[in-house]
Amino acid sequence: MATRVAPSMTGYLHLGHLYHLLWVYAYAERMGVPVCLRIEDHDRSRARPAYEKALFADLAAFGMAWRGDVLRQQDDVTFYDQQVAMLQDAGLVYGCACSRRELADLQLAGAPELFYPGRCSEKKLPLEGHTVRFRVGPDRMRFKDERLGWQEHVPAQQCGDFAIRDRTGQYTYQFCCVCDDIQQEIRHVVRGEDVLPSTGRQLQLFHAFDAPAPTYLHHPLLCDEAGNKWSKRQHAVSLRSRLEKGVSPEQLLAEAVGLHQPISLATALECVTGQLNQSAS
């Protein structure tokens, strides 16, 4: 039983990430479970060693520890390959030859995300050299979010058969995420509200693997004074550069929870627990 932090190695952490980390650690404390660490570097074209080095320095500065070995997605794809083979045996994946351009032309105006209409689902194309897609079921996926209450997602209407590996062999975020949660025996997932709509499709993957699905808690996203979400800010000032300029970790912890005077990690966690209690009541 554990929860996890899984920062993406495509940039430096900023205040929005710190707020997210506080939610993970606050929830771990409440549930009495350890936090595992995963380096999300499945995107080989964007992951940089400098980001990983900064991540470890940031976690140390805030006094955030983790349990067990660090899982790096790029280190070993054997498990991912095995899981794909399992899905293939069950007839749950197929090769897709559609280009990004072709798919863009098939989209309805105003759709919230890319929808795949299943054009290649009966073509029996090989998986090698093609995009590998997961056949989503028609089911409505219901789950109780630990903060938001009951949710219902229908992947067949939201995204259709989604990609789990691109044609170059690189695994996708959704797929790695579920496989890693299985490998690290994660039973509680804490993540931002921005990714809430993808929970149903992850649950379908857990079911396909016959693996226990974790509980989910989706937290609000941190906004700046102007109401803009930190997660959407392309050039948000990194924690690293502010720490290097002499800003204290305690000051950054205060800012992450909307306070002005420097606070300890324990106090910051109490603030977030307070927000959790408020929204759950």
103 counts as binding Zn ion under rule CB under 5 A: no
167 counts as binding Zn ion under rule CB under 5 A: no
Among positions 77, 98, 114, 221, the unique one binding Zn ion when judged by CB under 5 A: 98
DSSP secondary structure code for residue 3 in this structure:
E
Residue 132 token pair = 């590998």
119 counts as binding Zn ion under rule CB under 5 A: yes
164 counts as binding Zn ion under rule CB under 5 A: no
Closest residue by Cα to residue 171 from 134, 200, 141 = 134
Give the x-and-dash track for 43-82 against Zn ion (CB under 5 A): ----------------------------------------
* CA pair distance 178, 97, nearest whole angstrom: 24
CB nearer to Zn ion: pick between 98 and 259:
98
22 counts as binding Zn ion under rule CB under 5 A: no
* CA pair distance 182, 148, nearest whole angstrom: 24
Q: Least distance from C-beta 114 to Zn ion, angstroms?
A: 12
* Letter string b/e over residues 54-81, b meaning 16 or more CB atoms within 10 A of that residue's CB: bbeebbeebebebeeeebbbeeebeebe
Q: Which stretch binds Zn ion (CB under 5 A): 97-105, 164-172, 182-190, 217-225?
A: 97-105
CB nearer to Zn ion: pick between 120 and 179:
120
* CA pair distance 45, 170, nearest whole angstrom: 10
Among positions 120, 136, 189, 243, the unique one binding Zn ion when judged by CB under 5 A: 120
Among positions 96, 177, 263, 271, the unique one binding Zn ion when judged by CB under 5 A: 96
Residues 6+ apart with CB under 8 A from 173: 40, 42, 43
Instruction: Identify residue 22 by its one-letter amino acid code.
Output: L
Q: Least distance from C-beta 99 to Zn ion, angstroms?
A: 9
Starting at the edge strand that comes first in sequence, how are the strands of the sheet with 131-134 ordered?
93-96, 131-134, 163-165
Q: Least distance from C-beta 163 to Zn ion, angstroms?
A: 10
Residues in contact with Zn ion, total (CB under 5 A)? 4
CB nearer to Zn ion: pick between 15 and 96:
96
Interface residues with Zn ion (CB under 5 A)? 96, 98, 119-120
